[in-house]
Chains A and B, each alone.
Chain A
Amino acid sequence: DTGVSQDPRHKITKRGQNVTFRCDPISEHNRLYWYRQTLGQGPEFLTYFQNEAQLEKSRLLSDRFSAERPKGSFSTLEIQRTEQGDSAMYLCASTRSGVDEQFFGPGTRLTVL
């Protein structure tokens, strides 16, 4: 399977704990996006990378959130001191520069108790 992969698929954590999610984009895709989706809503943009550079961050991305893409391939999204309001599906998407269609991974479902 050469699509976008995300790990883990599900994460349950207690409030105040830190969590980290991983996204592996399609191999030749240099752009990588993170979105958050809550029940009943469409995905909301969080941040995006072109290669290893983080080019844009949404105001939704509070200082408890940090994303990295150190080698321009996989990316991690870390949430520190999780809150119940962080419970959501975290989606990763990738594409190539000059291509508009974004290919989504299966998402990581986070539940904060």
Chain B
Amino acid sequence: GESVGLHLPTLSVQEGDNSIINCAYSNSASDYFIWYKQESGKGPQFIIDIRSNMDKRQGQRVTVLLNKTVKHLSLQIAATQPGDSAVYFCAENPDAGNMLTFGGGTRLMVKP
């Protein structure tokens, strides 16, 4: 398949380990944040979201942490699997129009 990005920061983890992907956002007025997973040749796929009135939200094998003080988001993936290999983007909603502003992306590579 076609590569989403050739020069992205890359995180390489062993299958079964936990992964942490970090993201800095730009707009202190943003009240909604979302993580997307993008596999090669596909559109972004929703993973988990969080509102600014929360610090942490958990899903199935994934946790998002929000630190508003330093404008930082992280995505934690427990027991990483080969199927988790993809590019991960954080996005923020800076205004009422719901357009999303995306960060630069991190490539996660899972070694079997």
Contact = CB atoms under 8 A, between A and B. Distances in A.
Given A39-B3, A106-B43, A100 B34 contact: yes
Interface string A69-109: 00000000000000000000001010100001111111101
B102 A95 contact: no
Nearest to A98: B98
Contact of A101 (B2, B46, B104): B46
A44 B98 contact: no
A43 B2 contact: no
A54 B36 CA distance: 25
A33 B102 contact: no
Interface in B73-88: none
Contacts of B99: 33, 45, 48, 56
Contacts, number: 66
Majority secondary structure of chain A interface residues (helix, strand, loop or mixed): strand
B8 interface: yes
Given A91-B44, A103-B46, A109-B2, A41 B104 contact: yes
12 contacts: A39-B3, A39-B6, A40-B5, A40-B105, A42-B102, A42-B104, A43-B100, A56-B97, A91-B43, A101-B49, A104-B36, A109-B2
Given A39-B6, A104-B45, A106-B41, 10 more contacts: A4-B43, A33-B99, A37-B4, A39-B5, A40-B104, A42-B102, A43-B89, A95-B98, A102-B100, A107-B42
